[in-house]
Amino acid sequence: MKAASVPAQRRLIVGISGASGVIYGLRILQLLRNSGVETHLVMSKAAELTFAYETKVKIADVKAAAHTAYGIDDMAAAIASGGFRTAGMIVAPCSIRSMSEIASGATSTLLTRAADVTLKERRRLVLMVRETPLHGGHLRSMAALSDMGAIIAPPVPAFYAKPDTIEDMVDHTVGRMLDLFEIDVGTVRRWGEDQDLRARPPKGRLTD
């Protein structure tokens, strides 16, 4: 299939920055690989280091999970242009450095340039900001981005879904992020739809 024939709503940019939690970005790529959504990956150099620290996954395998992968310095890439139509972009995880660059508009890499293009074209930009605690400067940057149209969505686990494993928690979280693009990958246990969420007794002992 030629790239030009893919509807914009079935094309998503995935950015992976160097914050902790690179598994979120990888899992998004894996879940979308055979979903009919074309993924365009850009990954920072710091993200490649974080993969080495946090996983046993090879960078070549991360890139292979995307339909198209770009170098972080490739400012002539398709995703650097607003004329390349997409449904938007998700940065998973999003470091404070990347977030700050996007907020300022002074972008220095393809990742932040693609995010800036997403904003200027009024497309959906979701930033899974991974940092805590936060100081006032961080919060002001988040507020500025929200005013520009970005969605600040930290990867907060949903314990009501009663996950059995870390993988369950990751899948539920990224599933909720993809909901923001109207993409359902079948990993979300939905309150009000999964009837056993209330009926199922909690595991272990709860304290008062």
pLDDT tens digits, one per residue of 114-157: 999 999 999 999 999 999 999 999 999 999 999 999 999 999 99
The β-bridge relationship of strands 88-94 and 68-70 is unpaired
Instruction: Give every CB contact of residue 95 below 8 A, 6+ residues apart in sequence.
Output: 17, 18, 19, 44, 46, 130, 131
Task: Write down all domains in the chain, each with its CATH number in brackets.
Answer: 8-155 (3.40.50.1950)
Instruction: Sort 151 into a burial class: Cβ within 10 Å, 0-12 / 13-18 / 19+.
Output: middle
pLDDT score for 1: 44
Q: Is 116 helix (H, G, I), strand (E, B) or coil?
A: helix
- Percent of the chain scoring above 90 in pLDDT: 84
Here the tokens at position 158 are: 């949903």
Mean pLDDT of the chain: 92
Closest to 23 in 3D by CA, of 34, 33, 12, 31: 31
3-state secondary structure (DSSP) of residue 107: coil
Eight-class DSSP state of 201: P
Give this prediction's pTM.
0.90
Q: Out of 44-48, 108-112, 176-180, 188-192, pick the least confident.
A: 188-192
What is the distance between the alpha carbons of residues 58 and 65, in angstroms, rounded to a whole number?
A: 11
The C-alpha atoms of residue 185 and residue 67 are separated, in whole angstroms, by 17
The helix (H) or strand (E) run that includes residue 93 is: strand 88-94
